[in-house]
Amino acid sequence: MNDIFETIKKIAFEIDNAIKTEELGYSDSENSSGEEQLKLDVQSDIIIEKAFASVASVKALVSEEKEGVLELSKSGTYTVCYDPLDGSSLVDVNLSVGSIFGVYEGELEGKNLVASAYVVYGPRIELVIADRKEAPKLYRAIGGEFKFISEIKMNEKGKLNASGGTQQNWADYHKAFIDKLFAEGYRLRYSGGMVPDLHQIMLKGGGLFSYPATTDKPNGKLRQLFEVIPFALMYEQAGGEAINDKGERLLELVPSHPHDTSPCFFGSHYEISALKKAYGIEE
């Protein structure tokens, strides 16, 4: 799998350059979720597809920006599911964005995720890689190369609360729960970019990121294969938890379509336990 991670490092520098040099603005197309594609979305997807086309271990690709599965090599082992530029609508206001990668072996479902990675394009380019055995590893681009910085471990309880989704469309019990955390002194940290928002909570010791079911998005907004499940591995390997609104582990999700979404909650044990209580979920 090392060939996949080395390829992601090359992709990171290419997409970072594209963010800094390519023209912004919308292309004249939509992705499979019916969202207007930014030129950078399309450009980032092309960079990733070209990079993995020559990686022998990669059998196929699934992208937020593509309809189905793109077969690359029958002799390959892994399917890489990715969001090429998550939060891309934040680039034009100069906020951090990211790329997310899930590496699957076998059927595309949570239990077959063997590793995940994400890149944060911010004041610095950072890369986090997780497998099923160790804590996630943080790397930082220094002098044109990624240097290992540290393993990531979360505390039992954090201080940050990233509450996603349109508040007027939240369920009453969800609003009461979020308000309770703020009443306990949690600080709001939400940029609208899943990658920097989840990265911040992991690196700052913990807290809660929530994107619940809402009246306008009853199945949540974030995609299972290339957003939710890859980050679920990150959070569990960092000592936290990642569940849906029924209390099921996100790593046990079985998407029926490559672009299926799920309500999702990522956090430290204290916050997830409090959420389960608020949602009437048995511990």
Nearest to 274 by CA among 167, 194, 153, 184: 184
Please tell me whether residue 206 binds ligand AFP under the rule CB under 6 A: no
Stretch that binds ligand AFP, among 55-63, 167-175, 188-196, 262-270 (CB under 6 A): 188-196
Judging by beta carbons within 10 Å of its beta carbon (0-12, 13-18, 19+), is residue 29 exposed, middle or buried? exposed
d(CA 208, CA 270) in angstroms, rounded, equals: 9
Interface with ligand AFP includes 122 (CB under 6 A)?
A: no
Question: Torsions phi, psi of 86, nearest 5?
Answer: -75, 135
Question: Could you tell me if 45 and 29 are in contact, meaning their C-beta atoms sit under 8 angstroms apart?
Answer: no
* Eight-class DSSP state of 223: B
Q: Which stretch binds ligand AFP (CB under 6 A): 1-9, 186-194, 234-242, 248-256?
A: 186-194
* Residue 212 found at the interface with ligand AFP (CB under 6 A): no
Tokens for 256?
A: 């029926």
Give the count of beta carbons closer than 10 Å to the beta carbon of residue 124: 11
Nearer to ligand AFP, 93 or 183 (CB): 93
Name the residue with tokens 């990121």: 209
Taking the C-alpha atoms of residue 61 and residue 249, their distance in angstroms, rounded to an integer, is 24
State which of residues 84, 164, 240, 263 lies at the interface with ligand AFP (CB under 6 A): 164
Is residue 194 close enough to count as binding ligand AFP by CB under 6 A? yes
Cβ 3 to ligand AFP, closest distance in Å? 28
List the one residue from 5, 42, 44, 87 that touches ligand AFP (CB under 6 A): 87
According to the binding rule CB under 6 A, does residue 88 interact with ligand AFP?
Answer: yes
Q: Does 193 bind ligand AFP (CB under 6 A)?
A: yes
Binds ligand AFP (CB under 6 A): choice among 84, 158, 165, 207: 165
Q: Mask of contacts with ligand AFP, 6-45, x by CB under 6 A?
A: ----------------------------------------
Separation between Cα atoms, residue 185 and residue 98, nearest integer Å: 29
Helix (H, G, I), strand (E, B) or coil at 50: helix
Instruction: Please identify the residue of the shown chain whose CB is closest to the bound ligand AFP.
Output: 194
Three-state DSSP class for 148?
strand
**Which helix (H) or strand (E) segment is 39 a member of?**
helix 39-52
Sole binder of ligand AFP in the list 137, 199, 221, 259 (CB under 6 A): 221
Is 247 near ligand AFP (CB under 6 A)? no
161 binds ligand AFP (CB under 6 A): no
267 is an interface residue for ligand AFP by CB under 6 A: no
The CA-based angle 32-19-12, given to 5 degrees, is: 85
Q: Which residues bind ligand AFP (CB under 6 A)?
A: 86-90, 164-165, 192-194, 221
